[in-house]
Amino acid sequence: MRTLALLLALLILPLLGGCDACWYRGQSPGVCVGDDDDSGGDDDDIAPDDDDAADDDDAADDDDAADDDDATGPPCDHGDAVSGSTVDAHDYDLICIEPGTFGRGFLPTRSGIGDDAPRFDVTLTHWLAAGRTEVTQALYEAVAGDNPTDCDYGCSATHPVGSVSWVNAVAFCDALSALEGLDSPYTIFGNEYILDLSANGYRLPTEAEWEYLAKAGEDTNWPGTDDSDELDEYSFCTGSFFDDYARPVGLRLPNAWGFVDFAGNLREWVHDWYDSDYYEAGLTDPTGPLSASYRASRGGAWFDVSSTCRVSDRGWESPTSPSYFRGFRIVRTVWSE
């Protein structure tokens, strides 16, 4: 009888198929691993489900990548206000500016004056957060711990800081970057300053960036106007050294992008070494010559006449020499194309 029962089991169990017969081989139902054709067929049935899951995972990854691509880009729109903990605390405004190509130097229809001609196109590729005004005495003192301004020529929290050397202006930028947790754009080896335009920390604008911001998409002689009769509405360029002095920032009309005081008040340091041949070639993101004797400045001071307050006019000074009529404006890169 036992032999007959065993023969019957051997005949009946294969008809049950797959994992329902696993108990016969000492395995639990549903988890058996068969070496017969039926169990192999079950494995084949399961495989497409695994492939579908993998496909779903790949699709999800693709969607995530697409979302990441959509998320990349500048963090602000052209003309937006840009925040910063320290600058906000001292009412210093930053404006988001889209890069582009512009004509630096005097218009070809005009006679260039000295080193601001001929005119060439320059392309900028970095989105900037740029100071609406020159750095104020309040912001400078909060970051650097002192106010070097000669108060015979205007002192208050809202006056532009003056009597700052180029070296001290860079030190201020690095200190402000540290306070706001940003990466310094400067690598310093002794008297050599290497500028990284892609770093997100504060810095002086390059000479090309300064002129791009001052012109604000327009080809005018002065920031905001091409009419010398309107110059006083946009700038403090009185032509009088003895009867005038620097004014608080922001009291004149802005240019097309909202910036003020690009002409007059104080001359402004820029990053570049001064080169009289600056206008002899069109470049992308130029930062000036590798070395020279003087650093460039732009914008004219309160006592300058209209010709030296033009957006294309250029000045220079030793980087270690502070001048009561020279201050600076700050920028930082927020995104690179």
11 to each of 14, 16, 17, 53, how far by Cα in Å? 7, 10, 12, 38
**pLDDT at site 26:** 37
- In this structure, CATH architecture of domain 81-336: Alpha-Beta Complex (3.90)
**What CA–CA distance (Å, rounded) separates 289 from 291?**
5
**What CA–CA distance (Å, rounded) separates 178 from 49?**
54
Cis before 185? omega within 30: no
**What CA–CA distance (Å, rounded) separates 103 from 87?**
31
**What CA–CA distance (Å, rounded) separates 241 from 337?**
44
Is the CB of residue 98 less than 8 Å from the CB of residue 80?
A: no
Structure tokens at 120: 């060439």
**pLDDT at site 273:** 95
**Closest among 132, 109, 170 to 255, alpha carbons compared:** 132
Residues paired with residue 315 on neighbouring β-strands, in sequence order:
297
How big is the chain, counted in residues? 337
Mean pLDDT by 10 residues, the chain (337 residues): 44 43 36 40 44 51 45 90 96 97 70 62 96 97 97 93 98 98 96 95 96 90 81 79 82 93 92 80 85 92 84 90 96 95
**pLDDT at site 1:** 46
**pLDDT at site 80:** 97
pLDDT tens digits for range 4-46: 444 444 444 444 444 333 333 333 333 333 344 444 444 444 3
Q: 265 — alpha (psi -120 to 50), left (phi > 0) or beta? A: left
**What CA–CA distance (Å, rounded) separates 192 from 275?**
17
Is the CB of residue 152 less than 8 Å from the CB of residue 316?
A: no
3-state DSSP assignment of residue 231: helix
Q: Following DSSP, what letter does each residue of 157-172 receive, concatenated?
A: TTSBP-S--HHHHHHH
**pLDDT at site 37:** 42
**pLDDT at site 82:** 97
> What angle separates helix 166-179 from helix 137-144, to the nearest 10 degrees?
70
Q: Which residues contact 337 (CB under 8 A, 6 or more apart)?
A: 99, 125, 126, 127
Q: What are phi and psi of 294, to 5 degrees?
A: -130, 150
Cα torsion angle, 134, 139, 141, 144, sign: negative
For the chain, the structural domain boundaries read 81-336
